[in-house]
Structure 1
Amino acid sequence: MTRGTARGFYFDSDFDVTTVSFDFPPPVTVNHTNEAWALFGQVSCALTESPRVTGGLRVGYIAGKPSRKSPPLPAISPMKTMCWAWPISTTTPPSSTNRA
């Protein structure tokens, strides 16, 4: 018997953070923009009655860009990451014979 599943994930945010101190340094506002997504799936199948092979695939992407709004400074370079994973495993259920 073969079983499988597939899923997806998406995240998007854009917000400001302002730090304030009592006297020094002056207030600083930083904008954070983030986007991430992932797709993943898994398939499991029985080779015979007991051994089972399970394999999966995952791909994801993350992008973010912090930037200072006030006081203005040179732009901060954006961060981008792409990742892949493909795990494979085998399992054999314990024997059902009774050891007496």
Structure 2
Amino acid sequence: MTFNELINSDQPVLVDFFATWCGPCQMMQPILQDTARQLGDKVKIVKVDVDKNPYASSSFQVRGVPTLILFQGGKVLWRQSGVVPAHQLVKVIEDNVTVKA
């Protein structure tokens, strides 16, 4: 599945735009794992290395890392740069996604 197919699907997708050299990005890894554990199949979490995928990061105007963007059905539901605590991420996802029955 391509990146565009992924973000255009009905499945909510949280994309973490990161860089390997970025300290705050490394802090996000356990937070994302915790978020994934709490939400299970409610959201798919994808990491995009901005150095390896400059087109993806520039097309979403990612200026700093980490930048988190929540997509569903091709729409940006939420975005934020910087480290976001797991409890806040879970709340953002639960408040913004539409669960298809």
TM-score by length of 2: 0.22
Larger Rg: 1
TM-score by length of 1: 0.23
- Name whichever structure is richer in strand by fraction: 1
Of structures 1 and 2, the one scoring higher in RCO (CA 8 A, sep 6+) is 2
- Name whichever structure is richer in helix by fraction: 2
